[in-house]
Structure 1
Amino acid sequence: MPEIRKPQLVKATMAVIDRVGLHAASIALISKEAGVSTGIINHYFGGKHGLLEETMREILRQHSATIMDSLARLPKEAYQQRIIAIVDGNFVGYQAENQVTKTWLAFWSYSMHEPQLKRLQRVNEKRLLSHLKIELKALLGDDQAEVVAHGIAALIDGIWLRGTLNPQGIDADKARFIINDYLDKQLTFYSKK
């Protein structure tokens, strides 16, 4: 697949999912949106599931790049700021665009039943937890860092899901406030132990 076609097909996939939902997003609609034949999609991606997998890979690449770029600009010792940068990577910019959030939601529902998509979801979850634990271990013990990382990840997922289903979209400031509040309380709680 020429590299120029992949972004075109990813964009078309997200546009069609945004317009009609994943179940109605047929190869015919996606190929029409992208201006290519259905045969090209079937040949290079093996159908709709393969194209959804490539679309999610691109979203995950963008997600990872956003977080890594944010972390690279922060001092290594700015642990709480680095945690918030990880949080922001889930709620601002590309990840908060309507087409991207609807594709994420479709991906989540499909990942329960599709092994390749389930694997991508596990990789994404492990990456998020790893980033959080690295920063949290500098502030807490290993066991506490593990618990707080899972708490922050659950808050990210819950806030993100509610925001995606809300017609006004994701409120990044509110997400940041809620997660900061949780983090502050956890740091205070564990410092008293």
Structure 2
Amino acid sequence: MQLQTFFSPSVQHTLDVVGIFVFAISGALLAVRKNFDVFGIAVLAEVTALGGGVFRDLVIGAVPPAAFTDLGYFLTPLLAALVVFFLHPHVERIQAAVLVFDAAGLGLFCVTGTTKAYSYGLGVTASAALGLATAVGGGVLRDVLANEVPSLLRWDRDLYAVPAIVGATMVALCIHYAALTTFTSGLAAVTAFALRLLAMRFHWRAPRAWNRRSTVTEE
């Protein structure tokens, strides 16, 4: 089944670039906090912005990945790295706004990742899993390269993967029941976006193991 395109190519490209830019900002900011040099800042920006999409494309056989065939995708993280390199104190001050756009990128990428995976012949469950990977994969690679436990695995972080799982699952269910339209795909993206914002606002966190009795000191 070939899914229809819900946005014009120019609109879709613009949405992708915006999401890539915001994800790259988060990677570059972490590099500055880790005292990386300019090369390290650029690498972390690229990996954060493009890692999830590259992983998805390699799994589904969409090679070479879009990150390497579209110059705009590749250069956008470098622009974000340049902005952070020179203006990071100012960017830090608008961190709340960056997080809002990051949440929007999360919602968008979990939807586009799921639909692209399905259009390449994967089942709905595998497509949803790759939608999640598209949305959070870059952040995982960022944290690993920065020698940190990935944020989505830490109990003391606001929910991040769960909103993406919800959004990707909504898309997968819509595909399964032949109900995927511009409205329902947009609804899935908005739902993931809203859940992430609520998690940040109310500090929602995933539960830890039942009757946990560990004496290990938290980090």
Tell me, yes or no, whether TM beats 0.5: no
TM (norm. structure 2) is 0.37
Q: Looking at secondary structure, tell me which structure has more helix per residue.
A: 1
- In our comparison, the structure showing a higher alpha carbon Rg is 1
